[in-house]
Amino acid sequence: MARCLVTGATGYIGGRLVPELLVAGHDVRCMVRSAAKLRDLPWAGRVEVVEADATDPERTFQALRGVEIAYYLIHAMGTADRFVDRDRLAARTFAAAAERAGVRRIVYLGGLTGDLTADPTAHGKLSPHMRSRTEVGEIFLRAGVPAVVLRAAVIIGAGSASFEMLRHLTERLPVMTTPRWVRSPTQPIAVSDVLRYLVAWATVPGTVNRGFDIGGPDVLSYAGMMHGYASVAGLPPRVIIPVPVLTPKLSSHWVGLVTPVPAGIARPLVESVRNAAVCHEHDIARYVPDPDDGLIGFRQAVSMALMKIKEADVATRWSSASTPGAPSDPLPTDPGWAGGTLYIDRRSSPVDASPEALWRVIEAIGGENGWYSLPVAWRLRGLLDRLAGGVGLRRGRRDPDRLRVGDSVDFWRVEELLPGRLLRLRAEMRLPGLAWLEMGVDVAHGRTFYTQRAIFHPRGLLGHLYWWAISPFHGLIFGRIPVNIARAAARSPMTTGRIRG
């Protein structure tokens, strides 16, 4: 068995790869920028966690010491001027550190671009995201450590961004006008097959240094995938009318409005299927043989994903990783913080229920349970956020009742969770500053109290203007939450009632 390092363990693939490696008997070390993000995961106690940024040579080297197989699952998102240079620097730093640490193999999951050698102009036609992923793969293949670069197109699995985009477009639009890219051929692959390949390379003997195309048995256009999804999901046939005027940028905003996937993530997904993404070889079978019953087909992969969603058994979601452009700064300490203005709106309310009943309501906030104040105002704020390219309210929750650090809750992310005591959410909507919402349980003189803080750190003059512009509405929004949460806890200590305020 091998000693493995997994980067990107807080993401969709990394969060699923770690338990698969553990089941296979490997020792696993996770390299993350913040160890707190793994704290509440069910497998956290079975792995070693080290904090390091892939652009930091020394800390990355320390993370790689004693490792045999290093999985590189880091993909930056955002605009080209923000991620291309960082991707390049991180890959070069990681490769150099791996060579210095004596790592036996690097395994990288990149994007399927087709055969770039057959068309000299093909590389220039790739999107910035796909060019960057291709460059990262080339950096590893030229490095001093043997590397296996797996190239996949659309990954079909419950909770993946690609699948959520496909699912919501198909379910919400029985008739749609679509850009020409829906006719481009692609070769989707089931997430379970991707994980099978990744795990296998921890034990494949010998020295292998090359890339492999990986895909399922079906070649489909995106329109074909929508038709296939509709059939598996029991929906009427979809009417798809291609039009030539929708650019990837416009398409990503359109996807951002229709699906839970924000424009910042939708754009690289759209750009990745704009060109043909079909496997030109299946050489990987020489090293990792196909299962006896073959690779999972598209329809079976969709059926498996829908079953996971129905059973609420979605281990990771696309929103497990931070959203592009979302703040990652921790909450500044106060009152001793010297970083500038920190606006705080404090609220408290007595609750005629046990602390346990109150905590159940707090932990189940968001998603289908709502926010206990003016649903119209929350929906409007979510819509405005999506129009600005943000995540809006459509991400919902991973689990309807339980949270863990790192979970997304609509346009918030769980930054801290002290069971029975405190829930701190960090805002990931578009704002001229940083914002948090804290909800807590307090007991004093034998009584239960709900406590709440809305915290805002403005960025520039616009941030200050924003806070004072919305101040008149604080009573309507933040003021209603304590009252309605207290009512919900008092009405039913065993359930989380929804109050529309």
User: DSSP characters for 86-128?
Assistant: HHHHHHHHHHHHHHHHT-SEEEEEEE----TTT-TTHHHHS-H
Q: What is the pLDDT of residue 200?
A: 97
Helix (H, G, I), strand (E, B) or coil at 259: coil
- CATH code for position 150: 3.40.50.720
Same domain, 162 and 271: yes
Domain closes at, from 303, 318, 333 = 318
Is the residue at 355 inside a domain?
yes
The reply to whether 286 and 360 lie within a common domain is no
Q: Which amino acid, one-letter code, is at 228?
A: G
Contact between 13 and 75 (Cβ < 8 Å): no
How many Cα atoms within 13 Å fall on the side-chain side of residue 450? 30
Angstrom CA distances, 163 to 17, 158, 186, 318, stand at: 18, 7, 14, 9
Place of tokens 């090359």: 210
Structure tokens at 58: 């020394």
Are 97 and 184 in the same domain?
Answer: yes
**190 and 256 co-located in one domain:** yes
Q: Give me the domain span that covers residue 359.
A: 343-491
169, 256: one domain: yes
461 in the same domain as 351: yes
Task: Pick the last residue of a domain from 318, 352, 373.
Answer: 318
Q: Which pLDDT score is estimated for 167?
A: 86
Which of the residues in the chain have pLDDT under 70? 76-82, 114-126, 179-181, 244-274, 312-313, 315, 317-340, 492-501
Q: Domain check: are 303 and 356 in the same one? A: no
Domain total in the chain: 2
Q: Which helix (H) or strand (E) holds 255?
A: helix 248-258
Confirm whether 326 is domain-assigned.
Answer: no
Same domain, 285 and 394: no
Taking CA atoms, 212 is separated from 53, 136, 185, 191, 324, in Å, by 27, 14, 19, 16, 28
Whether the bond into 335 is cis, omega within 30 of 0: yes
Q: Is 406 left (phi over 0), alpha (psi -120 to 50) or beta?
A: left
Q: How far apart are CA 58 and CA 66, in angstroms?
A: 14
**pLDDT value of residue 356:** 93
Is 7 contained in some domain?
yes
Place of tokens 């609220």: 347
Residue position matching structure tokens 């050698």:
117
Instruction: Report the relative pairing of strands 412-418 and 422-427 from DSSP bridges.
Output: antiparallel
- Domain membership of residue 460 (yes or no) is yes
Q: Rounded to whole angstroms, what are the CA distances from 384 to 252, 263, 431? A: 16, 13, 11
* Residues forming beta bridges with residue 345, ordered by sequence position: 454
For residues 363 and 458, membership in a common domain is answered with: yes
**Domain boundary residue among 282, 301, 318?**
318
**Does 337 map to a domain?**
no
Evaluate whether residue 306 is within a structural domain: yes
| CA neighbor of 115 nearest in space, from 276, 285, 282 | 276
In a domain, 208, yes or no: yes
501, part of any domain: no
β-strand pairing of 412-418 with 408-409: antiparallel
pLDDT (0 to 100) of residue 495:
41
Regarding whether 192 and 147 lie in a shared domain, the answer is: yes
Give the global pTM.
0.74
- In terms of Cα–Cα distance, which of 373, 427, 423 is closest to 395? 427
pLDDT of residue 115: 59
Cα–Cα distance, 245 to 388 (Å, whole number): 21
CB contact at 8 A, 150 and 193: no
For residue 114, give every residue at least 6 positions away whose Cβ sits within 8 Å of its Cβ, in sequence order, or none.
122, 275, 276, 277, 278, 280
DSSP characters over 380-439: HHHHHHHHTTS-TTTT--SSSS---TT-EETTEEEEEEETTTEEEEEE-S--SEEEEEEE
Contact 192, 159 (CB under 8 A): no
Q: Are residue 78 and residue 166 in the same domain, yes or no?
A: yes
Residues 160 and 284 in one domain: yes
pLDDT for the residue 31? 95
Which helix (H) or strand (E) is 324 found in, with range?
none
Read off the CATH number of the domain in which 375 is found.
3.30.530.20
Residue type, 94: F
